A and B are shown apart, each in its own frame.
Chain A
């Protein structure tokens, strides 16, 4: 996994003194092995009320039909698909962290992959609720699977990207779940070994008989790499195909060749923002400052600048090529985006997604926990607007001016959306109580090479270049988990 030698200038992935394997287990399992505190109960109550709102809003939709939403003849797809794409996009960061960063041997993934991947799974579940709820007759959901003809000659339309989406997302969900669960096995076994009674029996079944032998670990490492190799093309394919739901059409503003990679970049962007939103709070509340360090926060902020800028290149390319194409419908679609009645949505998107992440160029901002959190929320909002701009702004003024309209969401639209956020947080808060939010086994791998105490030992032994050691100490000044006496 790790190289034999790690340069002293690399910032620590684990901080704190006297961090032992036992202490990692003890600290990470505090929320799992103890009764929840008041903060958790408050959070959970709010989230569960949100989830309840979702149940009410979706039940009402099923009872009255899709007419409960604000759709009209021209804008036949609006908040429903916006919410779907938003959630699927958020899901991407988890797989990126757990799979792509594993392939790149990026050790900093070790302490954030678990919760990021849980977030992925919950986000995909939220996305799936949109698919099912806007089917109108969800009890016929199985019609989107290619069933044998004995079932009635109802083959799905394989030419439709919506069907590709069914395959892409269900495959992605299954593989993510397997990958996440496989990674959990050694940690579930740790919980099992410390538990008693029924609890022990439950975790025993869940741990699939993990015994921690060398052979088991070897298989674990091998299967992790294989699943990472399988997940990587899958995660890229998911948002590619989501983008094709739009880009295969003839709709100006939807049909453009850059969509697939641009959607993927946007998905990673929004996913990392959501990881920040969750982990910046979780690390504080659960006391994980030593494991999710300033390096992790800064690295994720850097990915947010990178992907935000890629998305920015895509926005500008689209705008430029719309002009360059000379096709008047294309030109109008973009003129309408920039200066039409939905100008505020376009400029919110531009401000939130392209301009505000550029603030992370300032080290002060990207190493500030407060600003990182605020900007992560801004990006979440911006990415919702991006989908709204693409979908509603393109549809609301189509080829026939007599059918031009505006879209007005109903209270049900709003409740379904807010409710889905409730569902998401309910699941995430439950996850924090029953499973370790940090991959303990993987963090333990880092103690000997990438932790602050290992580096202090090297420096104390005088084995490192003093200039580089100085550089290392200077980099620690921004850490909230390293005492000022150890920095410069």
Chain B
């Protein structure tokens, strides 16, 4: 109960210079080179589609991590969480990048829908878009066309380009507005003090969570599930939410650890790390639960319109990766993070965070590739380069946003609780 004499510098700001800046810029250049390689130099048959699939993967991943940061903020306010108050500036920095990520994702989807290439479908040449060819190829919903597909035609009132893009713009636009509001309230709180901004954050966090909860399933049905437009699974929305939340938490933990190593966030302690570790552990299990429930129910019922999804993923091109996905995203965090002490070891937590971030890249890869490049999947310059490029983009914008504000929301009503956090 005693009061500490704080020796920490609470007006400390992150200086975005030197190595972090150089390396994130280099990563961005690598990404641009990889995109150029994918479109222009690579000569394989599916090179353009493959580049788009990777852009979609990373664009979606990037947006998900930023959205998870926003979701983290909202949850902390609504749950009146105290422990996290002193690290809130990290998810706030994620939230400030959300509008940028959203614009990039919308541009990727639009570009993929509006650029076409020739593919051969059952011996007939078809001009298909580079993304979402399963529903956006011309003629699929037209009974007079030779490509007519009854199932797709039935969904055309939902899966059509204008509605698809406007849904995406509206959802991501709404999330971005709330992301900006949360960060602004928190900054105003620094300047003004008092309870006013906290109460506003609380109120808007409730509204955000309702909107987010009701729209994220549709967002993932659109962006990812519709790549294989014939297939459907009610679980898919929550499955994607789980992946988003685990990768967001891992990114928050990784950022915190790296900043601590660089001499910032000296006021955080093992207990903060422990709590982040518990979240990563618990939600990795939740992800597995959702993954397994979806898999088991489809496997058990064995209905062809559902099993086709896993059938594709059990082809030799995907099967080893299908299992590796479970090993990385379930077994590793469970075995490593089970013990209390491990969750308090900085280097081990850093390792698990990186592992989970790579693991969920693979998770998204397994969701996206079978519906796009299918058997032509590989790991090469395009995959690795684009992933590095987006990681650099995220790091650059996020660290830049972080450097603009003090690292502690000094007037947060739960700050003292967080500074004395001990479990």
Contact = CB atoms under 8 A, between A and B. Distances in A.
A260 B82 contact: no
B293 A261 contact: yes
Interface in A187-217: none
Contacts of A236: 289
Contact of A4 (B1, B230, B236): B1
Contact of B298 (A233, A257, A313, A318): A257
Nearest to A302: B78
Contacts of B151: 326
A324 B158 contact: yes
A5 interface: yes
Interface string A271-312: 000000000000000000000000000000000000001101
B233 A313 contact: no
Nearest to B414: A7
Interface stretch (A138-146, A240-248, A480-488): A240-248
A257 B293 contact: yes
Interface in B292-321: 293-294, 296-298, 300-301, 303, 305
A463 to B, nearest CB: 9
Given A247-B297, A257-B294, A317 B237 contact: yes
Contacts of A318: 234
A377 to B, nearest CB: 25
Interface string A350-393: 00000000000100000000000000000000000000000000
A418 B232 CA distance: 40
A4 B420 contact: yes
B235 A326 contact: no
Contacts of A244: 296-297
Contacts of B221: 324
B210 interface: yes
Given A4-B1, A258-B234, A467 B417 contact: no
Contact of B421 (A3, A255, A312, A313): A3
Contacts of B233: 257-258, 321
B378 interface: no
* A: interface residue count bin: 35 or more
B301 A255 contact: yes
Contacts of B234: 256-258, 314, 317-318, 321
B238 A261 contact: yes
Q: Which secondary structure dominates chain A's binding surface?
A: helix
Nearest to B237: A317
A259 interface: yes
Interface residues of B, number: 50
Contacts of A258: 233-235, 238
A233 B289 CA distance: 10
Contact of A3 (B150, B158, B213, B420): B420
Contacts of B195: 9, 467-468, 471
B193 interface: yes
Given A7-B416, A248-B297, A321 B210 contact: no
Contact of A468 (B238, B294, B413, B421): B413
A324 B234 CA distance: 10
A160 to B, nearest CB: 11
A261 B290 contact: yes
B217 interface: yes
11 contacts: A5-B416, A7-B416, A233-B285, A248-B300, A257-B236, A259-B297, A261-B238, A261-B293, A321-B233, A324-B158, A325-B232
Interface of A: 3-7, 9-10, 103, 105, 233, 236, 240, 244, 247-250, 255-261, 309-310, 312-314, 316-318, 320-321, 324-327, 361, 467-468, 471
Interface of B: 1-2, 80, 82-83, 150-151, 154-155, 158, 193-195, 206, 210, 213-214, 217-218, 221, 230, 232-238, 278, 285, 289-290, 293-294, 296-298, 300-301, 303, 305, 413-414, 416-417, 419-423
